[in-house]
Chain A
Amino acid sequence: MKFSWKAYVRSDAFSSFMSSLMAIVVGLFIGFLVLLVSNPSQAVRGFGAILFGGLTDMKNLGQVFYFATPIIMTGLSFGFANKTGLFNIGAAGQFIVGAYAAVYVGVKWTSLPGHTHWMVALMAALLAGALWGLVPGILKAYFNVNEVIACIMMNYIGMYAVNYMVVKTVFDSLRNQSLRVAATAVIPKAGLDKLFITGNSPSSVNAGIFIAILAGIVIYVVLDKTRFGYELKACGYNRDAARYAGINEKRSIVLSMAIAGALAGLGGALLYLAGAGKSIEVVDVLAIEGFNGIPVALLGLSHPLGILLSGIFVAYLTVGGFNMQLYNFVPQVIEIIIAVIIYFSAFALLLKGFIQAYLKKKDRPLEEAKALAADAGSTEKGGGVE
């Protein structure tokens, strides 16, 4: 099929995209108002930092990808589960157990050959995350336990378990955090540090961003193009019908949660093996990356490719917000902006309606002609498109 711009503009995907875009514009506008209220003289410069901070130099651009990596993963985790009808609010727990597994392998299994060490660590994270997702999945499928509450519980259990295990196995008591992983466990830079560098300070970006993008593409293909994805979505949309169709819906739920967990767990590994000098702290605080995935997924309309974009966008704002400090603004402005964007993205349905109504109005004469022609042919004009 040939790509038709006109058809695309009329398509559902386009209205979805436009509605997200409108939410972003509104969010940014309100952010600007907040800046204006708090410090009028610097507002324009501060806003400039938000809009262009991520583009000022190569390092900042690299930082965008670095920050995007973990939130893309937790975003995918949430979005994937969401597409299959599950609400995975347990990414925080899955993320941190994944991080722990990766760090454990990274610190302890130093006898592994250099080029496989980090991969094994990633696998370990994947499995640990999957395990953490599996539990709510099993509880949901076989015991009808609401996954929201099970996930919340697993978040805390994961956090305490990791605190305990870090102290037991990989503790740097001088800093009250996990030990640094061996150099071989650090994800390769893949030349990105040469590209995204300003002066002599390179960005922290690494091959992790490729893994995240790959994960997004894989999830997209699985959900959209495979028989397995068909089953998962069928279960998500209508569990009873899936069962009726002979799909093992319990298995689907369990697998779906496990995959969501694996994605978040992998995200934990990508952050803590990034070689940016980050270690697992022994604190009783849930991993914030787990929750940050939710807005990323929602902004991306839970679509894997949308999540890639929205993850990068949110990271872009984060970098901008960091730079905004130069103009005397508190970085929390960024969080306020993102919250407002998310809030308005909840109106997507309505905005979409407006957009489509507008497009339709433009098309009216055309449509009416078509309808006339169609009426002549068929007796019943069924199947509303809206």
Chain B
Amino acid sequence: MAYIIEMCNITKEFPGIVANDDITLQLKKGEIHALLGENGAGKSTLMSVLFGLYQPEKGIIKKNGEVVRIENPNDSNRLGIGMVHQHFKLVHNFTVLENIILGAETVAGGRLQTKAAADSVQKLSERYGLKVDIHARIADISVGMQQRVEILKMLYRQNEILIFDEPTAVLTPQEIDELMKIMKELVSEGKTILFITHKLNEIKKVADRCSVLRKGKYIGTVTVADTSMEEMSEMMVGRKVNLMIEKNPAKTGDVIARVQELSIRNRLTHKMVVNNVSFEVRAGEIVCLAGIEGNGQSELVYAITGLLQPDAGTIEMNGEDITHLPIRKRNEKGMSHIPEDRHKHGLVLDFNLGFNLVLQRYFREPFQQSGFLQYDKIYEYADELIGKFDIRSGRGSRTDARSMSGGNQQKAIVAREIDRNPDFLIAVQPTRGLDVGAIEYIHRKLVEERDQGKAILLVSLELDEVMNLSDRILVIYEGEIVASLDPKTVTVQELGLYMAGSKRGELA
């Protein structure tokens, strides 16, 4: 069979790292081809080469057997290659329509012609069931809808080779199912799809073949139907990975944190984003707040951690009302917070790793004495944490946080928050975008903490994580807790229905 796209012996270097090392990848027309690999294996880089964002140092690309030059996205577009990027490339203050036509505008008499474009986008969206409001601003729509915009962008350009770079990382199970359906439909129309994901079950579900990369090198291509998930993950990591978390039953203790009738109003739209929420977390349990992104969980966490003042209700920790305490006081009283956005809140990227590891402690002795920072003590402590938590970086505690890989940045935050030995640990999407190895590690750490009698509030969109890790599940929908579930008795499908708001439960 002829290949529609062949990437032959691609080598791409970045300063200090060979991201793609002599990689060959062949796509058959009409297949869904999965690309698997750990964080930093070079998947996005390879795709960026195919899409014309990067120029490889070595290697050639062929389409239908003919060598083609792809120097920029215009070239790839002409060749019918489209890409949904891992980090969406959407202009936040543009409308959906503007984003879709950007770069492929039609112009008459110097004027942008949006009418015709609007019609054809509308048609596309109906045909593939990609529901979007084309006049909404990107900033105002959900992540799921943003993804649909990205897909529409490709379809609008009539691309026939579609690259999806980790499209499911940000979707709910229902949305993932929908996406899979759409992908299958697209393939049935003769389009070819390259699909990047860390989730093996998804590969199992839709992909025909799967290529695996490891540390920039090509490991091999397998037929998905003939390969088990364990085999694939071993190819990817180079060792056996434990996909299930082993944990003992929870030994719960006192109530550590209690939230009562908490309400939060959005400052701009004045809509209720958190509505009369009450729950408690006990020592020795992991309570999971499950929900689709944008249902108030971020605001709820901000209120608990002090980044935002609630409009009504109280928050107690260890029996003390902390609703109006400043953030530092809460930290001092034993609250830890692994934030949702590691670059926005979690790290000062221009500080080095050592400085970041003492972000909530620099003012305490011995890191500080009479107002002066004690560098040696800070680095000593940092090195200790780096060792203990296996945080990898080029220059140890002196590495700029900015230059660290996402996975190791996340490890640093986890290390910092756990090492403060909190009574109450709030972990928001602690494994987002990480590879299985890193996920395994962080999950193990969280369970360890629980077993040491910490109260843990876990906020996650990943159903597997929710099911595996939690002792109790609270489902949040449109700012309200709509169900309190036991992970041992509820099924993933059911959980999905609660999260989507189509089912409400008894509140325990």
Contacts and interface: CB of A to CB of B under 8 A. Distances in A.
Nearest to B356: A241
A246 B326 contact: yes
A385 B350 contact: no
B143 interface: no
A227 B372 contact: yes
A383 B393 contact: yes
A243 B393 contact: no
A203 B393 CA distance: 54
B408 A382 contact: yes
B92 interface: no
B373 A225 contact: yes
Contacts of B389: none
A233 B368 CA distance: 16
A10 to B, nearest CB: 12
Given A234-B348, A237-B349, A244 B393 contact: no
Nearest to B369: A227
Given A237-B351, A241-B346, A228 B371 contact: yes
B331 interface: yes
B403 A227 contact: no
Contacts of A383: 392-395, 399, 403-405, 408
B348 A242 contact: yes
Interface in A210-246: 225-230, 233-234, 237-238, 240-246
B66 to A, nearest CB: 36
Contacts of A247: 328
B369 to A, nearest CB: 9
B9 to A, nearest CB: 22
A227 B405 CA distance: 28
Interface in B342-375: 344-351, 355, 359-360, 362-363, 368, 371-373
A225 B372 contact: yes
Interface in A241-256: 241-248
Contacts of B349: 237-238
B282 to A, nearest CB: 25
A386 interface: yes
A245 B360 contact: yes
Given A230-B373, A383-B399, A383-B403, A246 B328 contact: yes
B47 to A, nearest CB: 21
Given A230-B355, A246-B328, A384-B403, A240 B373 contact: no
A226 B348 contact: no
Interface residues of A, number: 27
B307 interface: yes
A223 B123 CA distance: 59
Contact of B345 (A227, A229, A241, A381): A241
A384 B339 contact: no
In the complex, which range does the number of interface residues on chain B fall in? 35 or more
B17 interface: yes
A247 B359 CA distance: 9
B158 to A, nearest CB: 39
A368 interface: no
Given A227-B373, A246-B326, A241 B394 contact: no
A284 interface: no
Nearest to B346: A241
A242 B363 CA distance: 13
B17 A384 contact: yes
B42 to A, nearest CB: 13
Interface string B153-187: 00000000000000000000000000000000000
Contacts of A248: 326
B141 interface: no
B312 interface: no
B372 A386 contact: no
Interface string B324-350: 001111110000010100001111111
B249 interface: no
Interface string B389-419: 0001111000100011100100000000000
Given A245-B360, A382-B404, A240 B392 contact: no
Interface in A367-386: 378, 380-386
Contacts of B110: none
Residue among A229, A247, A378, A383 with the most chain B CB within 10 A?
A383
A79 B67 CA distance: 53
A12 to B, nearest CB: 10
Contacts of B339: 244
B108 to A, nearest CB: 39
Contact of B362 (A230, A238, A380, A386): A230
Contact of B392 (A227, A238, A380, A385): A380
Nearest to B330: A246
Contacts of B360: 245-246
Interface in B10-35: 14-17
Nearest to A228: B371
A245 B372 CA distance: 19
B327 A246 contact: yes
B348 A227 contact: no
Contacts of A241: 344-348, 359
Contacts of B15: 384, 386
B323 to A, nearest CB: 16
Contacts of B371: 226-228
Contacts of B331: 246
Given A385-B403, A386-B15, A244 B350 contact: no
Contacts of B330: 246
Nearest to A378: B392
A226 B344 contact: no
A246 B404 CA distance: 24
Contact of B348 (A225, A238, A380): A238
A245 B359 contact: yes
Nearest to B327: A246
B373 A226 contact: yes
Contacts of A238: 344, 347-350
Given A241-B344, A382-B394, A227 B350 contact: no
A227 B363 contact: yes
A227 B362 contact: yes
A384 B362 contact: no
A2 to B, nearest CB: 16
B392 A382 contact: yes
Contacts of A227: 362-363, 368, 371-373
A240 B395 contact: no
A244 B426 CA distance: 13
A247 B306 CA distance: 12
Interface in B112-146: none
Nearest to A227: B368
**Leading 6 A-B pairs by shortest Cβ distance:** A383-B394, A246-B328, A383-B393, A244-B345, A246-B327, A384-B16
28 contacts: A227-B362, A227-B368, A230-B373, A234-B359, A237-B348, A237-B349, A238-B344, A240-B344, A241-B344, A241-B345, A241-B359, A243-B307, A244-B305, A244-B307, A244-B337, A244-B339, A246-B328, A246-B330, A247-B328, A378-B392, A381-B17, A382-B40, A382-B392, A382-B404, A383-B395, A384-B14, A385-B399, A386-B16
Given A230-B362, A244-B337, 17 more contacts: A226-B371, A237-B348, A238-B344, A238-B348, A241-B344, A241-B346, A243-B307, A243-B327, A245-B327, A246-B327, A246-B330, A246-B360, A383-B393, A383-B403, A384-B14, A384-B15, A386-B15
